[in-house]
Amino acid sequence: MNSSLYYVPGHPLTRRAFLGRSATGIGAAALASALSGFATPARAASETNTWRGVVQPLHFAPKAKRVIFMTMAGGMSHLETFDYKPKLAEMHGQPMPESLTKGQPIAQLQGAKLTCFAPQHPFKRYGESGQQMTELLPKLGEVADELCIINSLKTEAINHDPAHTFMNTGTTISGRPAMGSWLLYGLGCEADNLPGFVVLTSNGKYGQGQPIASRQWHSGFLPGEFQGVHFRSQGEPVYYVTRPRGVSASQQEDVIRAVEGLNRQRNEAVDDPEIATRIAQYEMAFKMQTSVPELVDFRQEPAHVLEMYGTKGGDGTFAANCLLARRLAERGVRFIQLYHRDWDHHGGVKDQIKGTCGEVDQAAAALIKDLKQRDMLKDTLLVFATEFGRTPMAQGNGRDHHIKGFSCWLAGGGIKGGITYGATDDLGYNAVTDVVHVHDLHATMLYLLGVDHERLTYRFQGRDFRLTDVSGEVVKPILA
Amino acid sequence: MRLILLSCLAALGLTAVAPLAAEEPVRFSRDIKPILAGKCFACHGPDEAERQGDLRLDTQAGALESGVIEPGKADESELIARVLSRDPDMQMPPADSKKPGLTPAEVDLLKRWINAGAKYDAHWSYAPPSRPEVPPVDEARKEWPANEIDRFILAAQQARNLSPAPDADKRTLIRRLSLDLTGLPPTPEEVEAFVQDTSADAYEKLVDRLLRSPHHGERMAMFWLDLVRFADTGGYHSDNHRDISPYRDWVIEAFNRNMPFDQFTVEQLAGDLLPMPTNDQKIASGYNRLLMTTEEGGAQAKEYIAKYQADRVRNVSSVWLGATLGCAECHNHKFDPYTTKDFYSMAAFFADIQEKAVGRQDQVNVPSSRQQAELAQINARLAELRGKLEAPSAEIDAAQAKWEETAIAELAAARGEWRPQKPLEVASAGGQTLAVQDDLSVLASGANPAKDTYTVTLPAELERITALRLEALTHPSLANKGLSRANGNFVLTELTVALVSADGGEEKPLMIKSVEADFSQPNYPVAQAIDGNKQSGWAVAGHEKPADHQLVALLAEPVAGAAGAKLVVRLAHDSQFPQHNIGRFRLSLSSAEKPGLTSPSGIPVDVGLALETAAEKRSPEQQATIRRYYRSIAPQLADVRKEIADAEAQAKSLEEASRTLISMSGSPRMVRILPRGNWLDETGEVVEPAIPAFLGKLNVEGRRATRLDLAEWLVAKDNPLVARVFVNRLWKLMYGRGLARNMEDYGTQGSYPTHLELLDWLALEFQASGWDVRHMLKLMVMSHTYRQSSAASRETLAADPTNDWFTRQDRFRLDGEFVRDNALAISGLLSRRLGGPSVKPYQPAGHWQFLNFPRREYVHDQGENLYRRGLYTYWQRTFLNPSLVAFDVPSREECTNERPRSNTPLQALVLLNDPTYVEAARAFAARIIREGGSEPAARIAFAFRTATSRAPTEREVELLTALLEKHRAEYAADPAQAAEVLKNGDGAPPEGIDSVELAAWTSVARVILNLHEVVTRS
């Protein structure tokens, strides 16, 4: 497994380029100048190498170049956000029809009496399109005409951990690549100083903070180059990017240049392409030590932008992550995934969801507006989704996990805005019209990026695996 | 460029079977089946449900009956016409399958095969191996082969006009062997000794030494633990801790004792089912408990039972059979003859294992034989020490007599305030057993109700009663050795006191004026114990910090006691938290005006009672109580007590370390075939344990087959897969790639071995040797094939670009744990201690922030545990240490047959900035300064020899010297920065070395530890 994300067949960088450099770079005669050369900030462009992906050429003309995937972790209630169910309100307190619930999977309500529980907040119509959404999301309402709301999503796992794994990898079995890893593997990376798949996380104050495993952004059986890199909002933004204590920036560069120099010398003796790759990776590591602090430095953002998102940055909020996502998108990162862990509302859903909606509304809307004003919305696909929805049945004054019908929205590159697609039944239990399975969502996402989901495969355990497992249909009616 | 391209293709899984020499006969299973399996079997293969046009091509009968193949006549065969056709109605594979058409080379192979008679042969791995003839040695090369391995390898090379590479030099060989067999680099002394040893068997002696090293077991265990998915946590959701490290230590020990692989197999799968199993065998059976488990509230038991059984089938079939039986969970296998019935029948073997579908698994204390021996030693020592403590001594008796006088005076002073009362009656509304102890405390046991109210009747005989004291006392029988049987904490929601006068009659409630406590948990102030509110109460965080606590209630009006009068005290526990009832308590009364909270005397109550009894009236028990207590505090015995405490602590940590998960067999669950894998569907056929049908049948004479039967079948002589799969794994460890390349799949979608005869020969040799793992490893490393240089000529690279024919050794990056071990070994920091609970080395702050239920904070260990080998790292499945993850170390949620070997910028960041490596560099710098002579050149040479086993070149020395001088000058100009360098990591900086010098050499050491060569085995 000698592949490398940043060193690719066909790239102009060849082994000879390294040999040539080593001959003139750190030679015995010019040692002093070589060492002062350590401090030269920029190396030749030929030493920057980015993975270009295995899908070449693309299967379709792409509509989007990158994805910002907002995961409302914990299980966002569709009934209090995007799926308007007046009938459920009428039936409040009455028994849930057994015809719907019998023999169906159920989580914490196992063995409990199942009664209808009215939507806890009013809905209203927004925008020219008149999209129906909760009153709790007024800022998103301002961009309602950009949104394609899907009210007929279905998934297969009813507990948080497997449900996230399903949403991210297309299966509940561990060890498969996350969707970001698939995209990076298939499409490559445009950034030469940042990873191609970045994960951002934030906590809220209202729901239970359900754990999230790092497997959710792991590359599974794909090579390690393709795993998501977790950017943290507090402390070191990327693990190990901070140089050791007592080592100045120039000394750190000396060390890196010396490693590169000695590796080049060694390569003259043993002629090993892995060494060339190693040198390129030290170069990238070196760049990240500058690019990452620059990336998270929000001081360059004008006040009105900070105000629009509702953050000062660096505060670990969802809003700060939305702004960071825009900055990552600008820098060519392929797949940016945000987790907001505040949606598990088993009890007190009325107050809790109000709080949680308040944590995301302004920033998610700001992200759309900001991308639009930078003319990046047209080729950025935004997905606002969750691992599952919540029961129309009461769990005390909250709702339990629900997988048979729930909501998400998409916006941006290649998406028809201002429409609502698919529907659940009158009580919001089963997705019944234009059902969209998680596999379909994946297939559609890949399609918009120019990839046929059936043809992006990787051979493992004797089988060609894909993100969509053995199913998935592109949801054509939502495409612009 | 070519090599890079090919290695990338290999990484992408695009390489085809090694090219066939033109004159070699076409073999169905090697040459044809991969084509058909890739392009045709999905619709024309074993899965009946998906089969199209009633055509199956995976069996000879199916293919011939259908008439699409005319043996001997390729041009008349419809199969050929179809794959060549461009007509959308005709062409195969059809366009909508999205499978690309056959290449001309593939069509050519199909034609050659049909023209040769279209003969099918059994898939290579499903037929038992037959001992192949060892190829004769060519006269010209007769010096080369060291053993049979070389003869097979050489014959295959010569058939392709290839030749082996010369042996690597001795420095490379000892480095390669040390890393391959122990995962640690050789010391410079070991290298020199080997280089100097010119005896004929120098190499073999080295091999034997390394195979006997205790680190060999660690190296092999690391490989095995990936397969069986060993980890310290449950994996799902809250990903909580489970005790399982004894299993890991058993694996290390098994490899160090060279346990035969058949026994190794049986003990893991069924150690608990062996007659009179030893503790070690029970620990081995922990294998069956290594899977991911959940504790998530709301998880459905049936769903998780289905998940667990599938997990076990995937693992056992992958580890031992190299099979992808997991594919048959929902449908018959698309490419191999495994059926869904096989899948669920395999699951049924494990249906006897007792476990919780959802919740914390039960762990048990099972000391291993090693631990038992240690424990016996400690206990013998303890008995001896306790004897010393008890031994008669006039001197100590005299001291005791003196002490008693002062103690009695002390007690009298204290007693003035509080008198513990022996309850007349104790009652529990919730049915708990409340028993009065010798020290007058009351201990709860038996029923454990969610809520309870205690009614305690005390004698009210003091002349004047001003206050009541309630002591909540810890006890070993309580949860967390704390204060309740819930989680160690209690909530006292209401305390009331009433008086019953000597002549009986009604209870008269007594007003409590105020309460105070020595401690109250935030939000649970003591005043809530008398606020009349049933929900609120007093609590003391006993779940977090189990300790004795007390409450003092001052009566509004003093009460005059009398003989026969009684106080009735009620302790109510009505909070929302179940079972938060006080587990042990004691009540005392006082006559003092303002009695204090704590008793000023540290003397235990029972000792105090004995002391207060006049000496001549003391019972023998009371005398013994006093004597025992005095000896627990006598200054003359302090040393003995310290030794006892140390030994007890050792015994305790051993006992804790012996807690583990083992297999416990019970009546087996019913196992059904789940249609489409749907656990809600209960219509499927009920199945009994059975091996995959096409591989035979167990001879169990009508009884239900067990895990032991399964294990014995796996290691039976006629099992075609197990020996092949395992020797192929060993081969990969020693040569960098398998004889069958695909480590995950030995079925039809796997790769045909490049050297099937050699693989079979090795498999049979393995069985014939009594499954002797070390014998096989020695055979491999003694071969010249192993000893070859990893450098290859341009001609060899062109002729054998992906090293299919082993024309050289492989070069590869060390596994993540070994990258760490290597740096620690070079620096001299490495702890070489074997086994024990997993350890917590440095980890970036906040890495565990997304763990919940409960939240956890990672606190790295202190001292030696920071420098243990990587394999002992605490394996938190959902958030494994990122320093390891960067180097492709798996989370072990599923079987890992093969780790990727990536080369990423994150690896560079780890080696540059992780405190583990910075501290190692600093320790290495100190070694260089101390042991490397006084001149920079000599020191750099020492550093190179230590880290790479070779001397540096002149240019290397020059470069590093220049770096050293530059940084020395910079640190000399800024000594504060140099002092900062010493603060990386926890270890104390070395004494007697100038910090500027040390900081500058640390830069040099960092460069060396970052070199590609240092993290590479070549």
Name the packing angle between helices B707-714 and B261-270 (round to 10°).
160
C-alpha distances in Å from residue B403, one per residue of A168, B635, B637, B654: 72, 11, 14, 37
Angle between helices B214-228 and B245-256 (to 10 degrees): 130
Q: What is the pLDDT of residue A43?
A: 36
Q: Cα distance from B966 to chain A (closest Cα, Å)?
A: 9
Measured CA to CA, the distance from residue A100 to residue A392 in angstroms comes to 11
- Cα separation, B937 vs B496, in Å, equals 84
CB of A278 within 8 Å of a chain B CB? The answer is: yes
Q: What percent of chain B has pLDDT over 90?
A: 76
Nearest to B608, CA basis, from B850, B395, B417? B417
Q: Higher confidence at residue B30 or residue B441?
A: B441
Q: How confident is the model at residue B485 (pLDDT cuts 50, 70, 90)?
A: very high
- Asked if residue B414 has pLDDT above 70, the reply is no
* Residue B998: pLDDT over 50: yes
- Report pLDDT for B20: 55
Residue A49: the pLDDT is 59
Q: Which residues of chain B lie closer than 8 angstroms to A107, CB-CB?
A: 298-300
Any chain B CB within 8 A of the CB of A112? Answer: no
Q: Residues A185, A222: contact at Cβ < 8 Å?
A: yes
Q: Is B1006–A8 a contact, with Cβ atoms under 8 angstroms apart?
A: no
Q: How many CA atoms lie within 13 A of A135 on its CB side?
A: 7
A68 or B116: whose pLDDT is higher? A68
Q: How far is B326 from chain A (nearest CA, A)?
A: 10
* A458: nearest Cα among A468, A450, A444, A449: A468
By residue count, chain B amounts to 1018
The C-alpha atoms of residue A444 and residue B734 are separated, in whole angstroms, by: 45
Q: How confident is the model at residue B968 (pLDDT cuts 50, 70, 90)?
A: very high
d(CA B229, CA B224): 9
Residue bearing the bigger pLDDT, B921 or B405: B921
- Read off the pLDDT of residues B949-964 as tens digits, 9 standing for 90 and up: 999 999 999 999 999 9
Mean of the per-residue pLDDT values of chain A: 88
The pLDDT assigned to B21 comes to 56
Cβ-defined contact of A9 to B745 (cutoff 8 Å): no
Interval B751-758 mean pLDDT: 93
Mean pLDDT of B761-780: 98
| Paired tokens of B618 | 């003391």
In tens, the pLDDT along B86-135 reads 888 888 998 888 788 888 889 999 999 999 888 888 889 998 898 899 99
Q: Is the pLDDT of residue A88 over 70?
A: yes
**Is 70 exceeded by the pLDDT of residue A20?**
no
3-state secondary structure of B906: helix
The whole-number average pLDDT for the span B619-637 is 92
pLDDT tens digits, one per residue of A336-375: 999 999 999 999 999 999 999 999 999 999 999 999 999 9
In angstroms, the CA B854 to CA B844 distance is: 20
* B221's tokens: 């265990």
Per-residue confidence (pLDDT) for residue B720, from 0 to 100 = 95
Nearest-Cα residue of chain B relative to residue A3: B8
- The verdict on whether omega for the bond into residue B753 sits within 30 degrees of 0, i.e. cis, is no
pLDDT at A24 over 50: no
Strand partners, B159: none
Residue B470 pairs in a beta bridge with B551, B587
Find chain B residues with C-beta within 8 A of A221's C-beta. 900
B489 or A272: whose pLDDT is higher? B489
C-alpha to C-alpha distance for A228 and A214, rounded to whole angstroms: 9
- On the question of pLDDT at A35 being above 70, the answer is no
Where does residue A450 fall: left (phi above 0), alpha (psi -120 to 50 degrees), or beta otherwise?
A: left
∠ CA B233-B237-B238, nearest 5°, is 60
- Closest to B763 in 3D by CA, of B322, B325, B346, B342: B322
B680·A103 Cβ contact <8 A = yes
Structure tokens that stand for B122 in this block? 């059994």
* Position A4 confidence tier, pLDDT thresholds 50, 70, 90: very low
Instruction: Compute CA B705 distance to the chain's CA centroid, rounded to the nearest angstrom.
Output: 30
**pLDDT at B726 exceeding the cut of 90:** yes
Burial of residue B988 (CB within 10 Å: 0-12, 13-18, 19+) is exposed
Q: Which residue does chain B place closest to A1, by CA atoms? A: B11
């306790």: which residue's tokens? Answer: B386
Chain B residues whose beta carbon lies within 8 Å of the beta carbon of residue A229: 906
- The owner of tokens 């498969």 is A176
User: What is the Rg, in whole angstroms, of the alpha carbon atoms belonging to chain A?
Assistant: 24
User: Hey, is the C-beta of A49 within 8 angstroms of any chain B C-beta?
Assistant: no
% of chain A beyond a pLDDT of 70: 90
Q: Which residue of B has its CA nearest to A270?
A: B791
Closest by Cα among A260, A255, A252, A254 to A281: A260
Residues of B in contact with A165 (CB under 8 A): none
Q: What HEC string does chain A produce? A: CCCCCCCCCCCCCCHHHHHHHHHHCCCCCCHHHHHHHHCCCCCCHHHCCCCCCCCCCCCCCCCCCEEEEEEEECCCCCCCCCCCCHHHHHCCCCECCHHHHCCCCCCCCCCCCCEECCCCCCEEEECCCCEEEECCCHHHHHCHHHCEEEEEEECCCCCHHHHHHHHHHCCCCCCCCCHHHHHHHHHCCCCCCCCCEEEEEEECCCCECCCCCHHHHCCCCCCHHHCCEEECCCCCCCCCCCCCCCCCHHHHHHHHHHHHHHHHHHHHHHCCHHHHHHHHHHHHHHHHHHHHHHHCCHHHCCHHHHHHHCCCCCCCCHHHHHHHHHHHHHCCCCEEEEEEECCECCCCHHHHHHHHHHHHHHHHHHHHHHHHHCCCHHHEEEEEECCCEEEEEEECCEEEEECCCEEEEEEECCECCCEEECEECCCCCCEEECCEEHHHHHHHHHHHCCCCCCCCCEEECCEEECCCCCCCCCCHHHEC
Picking from A388-392, A439-443, B407-411, B600-604, which range would have the lowest pLDDT averaged per residue?
B600-604
First to last CA, chain B: 20
User: Which pairs from B762-767 meet CB under 8 Å and 24+ separation?
Assistant: B762/B149, B762/B727, B762/B731, B763/B129, B763/B723, B763/B724, B763/B727, B764/B129, B764/B131, B764/B723, B765/B148, B766/B261, B766/B723, B766/B726, B766/B727, B767/B717, B767/B723
Strands A148-154, A436-437: pairing is parallel
Residue at token pair 């001309």:
B104
- For B327-349, the pLDDT digits (tens) are 999 999 988 899 999 999 999 99
In terms of C-beta density within 10 A (0-12 exposed, 13-18 middle, 19 or more buried), how is residue B254 classed?
buried
Q: Above pLDDT 90, what percent of chain A? A: 71
Q: What is the DSSP string of B6-44?
A: HHHHHHTT---SPPPPTTSPP-IIIIIHHHHHHHTHHHH
Would you say residue B11 has pLDDT above 70?
no
Residues of chain A neighbouring B998 (CB-CB closer than 8 A): none
- Give the closest-approach CA distance of A338 to chain B in angstroms: 14
- In sequence order, the 6+-apart residues with CB closer than 8 A to the CB of A14 are B1
CB contact under 8 A, B959 and A261: yes
Q: How confident is the model at residue B600 (pLDDT cuts 50, 70, 90)?
A: low
SS3 B833: coil
Q: Where are the alpha helices (DSSP H) in B810-879?
A: 816-827
Closest CA–CA distance from residue A461 to any residue of chain B (Å): 5
B916: closest CA among A293, A244, A247? A244
- Mean pLDDT value across residues B877-905: 93
In one-letter notation, the amino acid at residue A34 is: A
**A33 Cβ under 8 Å from any chain B Cβ:** no
Q: Are B271 and B282 in contact (CB under 8 A)?
A: yes
Helices (H), B85-160: 104-115, 148-159
pLDDT at A192: 82
Is the CB of residue A457 less than 8 Å away from at least one CB of chain B?
A: no
Assign B5 a pLDDT band (cuts: 50, 70, 90). very low
pLDDT at A6: 32
Q: How far is A270 from chain B (nearest CA, A)?
A: 7
Would the CB atoms of B296 and A241 count as touching at under 8 Å? no
| DSSP, res B839 | B
Task: Give the whole-angstrom CA distance, residue B1016 versus residue B1010.
Answer: 11
Residue B22, pLDDT score? 55
ipTM of the predicted assembly exceeds 0.95:
no
Q: What is the pLDDT of residue B16?
A: 39
Tokens of A306: 């900070």
Chain A hits for B909, Cβ within 8 Å: 238-241, 285, 288-289
HSE-CB for A179 with a 13 A CA cutoff: 31
DSSP conformation class of B680: T
pLDDT tens digits along A445-470: 999 999 999 999 998 877 889 999 98
**Structure tokens that stand for A279 in this block:** 């040198």
Q: Residue B418: its pLDDT value, please?
A: 85
B245-265 pLDDT tens trace: 999 999 999 999 999 999 999
* Residue with tokens 């399958």, as numbered in its chain: B97
Q: What DSSP string describes B715-781? A: TSTT-SSHHHHHHHHHHHHHHSS-SSS-SS--STTS---TTHHHHHHHHHHHHHTTS-HHHHHHHHH
Spatial separation of the C-alpha atoms in residues B527 and B262, rounded to whole Å:
67
End-to-end Cα separation, chain A, in angstroms? 40
| 3-class SS of residue B401 | helix
pLDDT over 50 at A307, yes or no: yes
Model confidence at A200: pLDDT above 90: yes
The two tokens of residue A295 are 């990336």
Confidence of residue A391 (pLDDT cuts 50, 70, 90): very high
Three-state DSSP at B355 gives coil
Q: How many residues does chain A have?
A: 480
Q: Global pTM?
A: 0.81
